[in-house]
Every structure is written in C-alpha cells, then in structure tokens.
Amino acid sequence: MATYLDRIIASHRATAADDTRDAVGLEAAARSAGAARGFESALRAGDRLAVIAEVKRASPSKGPLNPGLDPAAIAGAYERGGATALSVLTDTDFFEGSEGDLRSARDATLLPVLRKDFTVSAHDVLDARVMGADAILLIVAALSDTELAEFLGLARSLGMDALVEVHDEAEASRALSAGATLVGVNQRDLFTFEVDTGRASRVGASLPREICRVAESGIRGRDDVARLADAGFDAVLVGESLVRSADPAAAVADLAGVARTAAGAARSR
C-alpha cells in the first residue's frame, strides 16, 4: 500500500528527472554561497533542550494551517521566544511552501535554518545551499543507502548539516551506517499518518550516546518536551502548534525552558 510519503517522493523524483540545469554551474553557485550557520552545533549547545521552530503554511493531512503566514514575522517571533533553530517548508505542491519562505525567514533572524523538503537528488542539496539553507533533511525511507551517503557527503562538503530522519530501528541503523551524526525520529506513522508518542523513546534508545537526537511530530506542549528530554533527546522540531498559536513567541518560550538530561548535556559538550 502506497504511503503519503510514497506519493510525495514520486512527484519529487519526477521533477528531478526533468531537471536539465547545468550541474557544474549549480555546484559553483552553491560553493560560492555565504558561510552556513552551524545547525547541529547549535542544537548541541546549552543546558536546555533545543527547539527547532517550523515555518509551515499547510500539510497534506490538515490542509491550510496559517494561509496568511508571514515567514519573516513568525521567524522573528520564534527567535524572540528562544528557538535554537528554524525549519522552513519549501515544498510547494503539498505544503504550499517556497524558496522565498526560507530566504525571508533566514534574513529575519540569526538562527540556523533547515530546509524542510524532500531531498531526492544532488541538485536538491545544491539548491538548498544556494537559497541559504544551513541544513537539509534526508528521509531514510525515501532514499537508497547509496543516495543517503552521497547526499550526506555533498551537504558536508558545502558546509551544511543534515538531519537524517528515521521512523524505526531498522532505518536508524541505515542512518548510522551512512555516517549520520544528527538523527530525527519522526513519530508520525507512514501508513496511517497518526502520531505514536512512544516512537521517539523506543527508536531513540537504539542510537549511540554521541548521536544528536531530534524528536519530530506530535509535540504540543511542555509536558511532551519534558518527556522527550527524559528519553535523552537533544532537540524537538515543532510546527503545527506554533504556526497556529496566537502568540508564537510565548509558545516557543514555553517549550524552550526544559532542561536537558545529564546524558543530553554530556553530548552537548
């Protein structure tokens, strides 16, 4: 049975197959872009659990979340609230995002920015650096082992970090084999789109101590963040509850005050 991710990835692979741009010129542009802000290093710093606050207009399951969203304004609010980093959706067809959203959000703050999109080609990695992203998302379920290693290596050569997203222990093993040091555990089921709030703790327990761990999906309040801190996570990525909030700065501040566990604090040093 095809998952929502299968449909999205098929669309992105079709687009990549039709991409006739000059690879040499694109790589030159990526390598001449300004220095990236350290995404993973920011998540590892400090004695509080890091909050990656997401700029997100819509989702395939929920539809419009904040149709009138101003990327610069909400990014500034996130920074004032104590966010450690930003995640910006740039997928247009399924999430109504854009490259412009990422540029606007990054220009409005000093925070490192993750390009939240569906990376399926080397051009996607290069595009991310050209538009100013400091990190890319690599979804293990969407990529072969060869692609994972290739895109991870290319990102690093461009000065970017890569958040390698997994859904179970088998995918976590593949991420580690590819050389990932920053792993996100997505608690949303690929088949049902439902959130399993125990998934992060289960899968996170399989990761080595030195891995920087990010929990994704289903994080709505301080109690969720505290539970994930107790499970040894270093950061949480939060989208829907923040973009729907009447006061995004206050919503981030509520999440950003949770202390790391001793294990998480040790990994940050």
Residues 6+ apart with CB under 8 A from 131: 90, 99, 102, 103, 115
Tell me the pLDDT band of 266, cut-offs 50, 70 and 90.
Answer: low
Q: Which comes out higher in pLDDT, residue 246 or 189? A: 246
Tell me, yes or no, if 27 is annotated catalytic. no
pLDDT > 70? residue 265: no
CA distance 149 to 35: 23
Whole-number Cα distances in Å, 108 to 8, 9, 128 = 29, 30, 18
Catalytic residue among 79, 99, 165, 171: 165
Catalytic residue among 40, 54, 96, 99: 54
Give the global pTM: 0.94
Residues, the chain:
269
CA distance 183 to 168: 12
Strand, coil or helix: what is 60? Answer: coil
Tell me, yes or no, if 62 is annotated catalytic. no
pLDDT > 60? residue 268: no
For Cα atoms 110, 253, 112, give the angle at the middle one, nearest 5 degrees: 20
Tell me, yes or no, if 66 is annotated catalytic. no
pLDDT of 4 reads: 79
Both tokens of residue 130?
A: 């050209």
pLDDT > 70? residue 264: no
pLDDT tens sequence across 121-178: 999 999 999 999 999 999 999 999 999 999 999 999 999 999 999 999 999 999 999 9
Tell me, yes or no, if 54 is annotated catalytic. yes
State the chain's mean pLDDT as an integer.
Answer: 92
Q: Which CATH superfamily is domain 4-17+49-268 in?
A: Aldolase class I (3.20.20.70)
Sign of CA dihedral 253, 257, 258, 263: positive
Taking residues 80-84, report their average pLDDT.
97
DSSP string, 123-167: HHHHHHHHTT-SEEEEEGGGS-HHHHHHHHHHHHHTT-EEEEEES
Catalytic residue among 59, 104, 121, 186: 186
Q: Phi-psi region for residue 217, left (φ > 0), alpha (ψ -120 to 50) or beta?
A: left
Q: Which comes out higher in pLDDT, residue 11 or 193? A: 11
Catalytic residue among 116, 121, 171, 240: 116
Tell me, yes or no, if 96 is annotated catalytic. no
* Residue 141 exposed, middle or buried by CB count within 10 Å (0-12, 13-18, 19+): middle
pLDDT > 60? residue 1: no
Find where tokens 């009447």 sit.
246
Taking residues 80-104, report their average pLDDT.
96
pLDDT of 188 reads: 85
pLDDT of 163 reads: 98
pLDDT > 60? residue 250: yes
pLDDT tens sequence across 28-51: 999 999 899 999 999 999 899 999
pLDDT tens sequence across 102-111: 999 999 999 9
Catalytic residue among 27, 40, 56, 66: 56
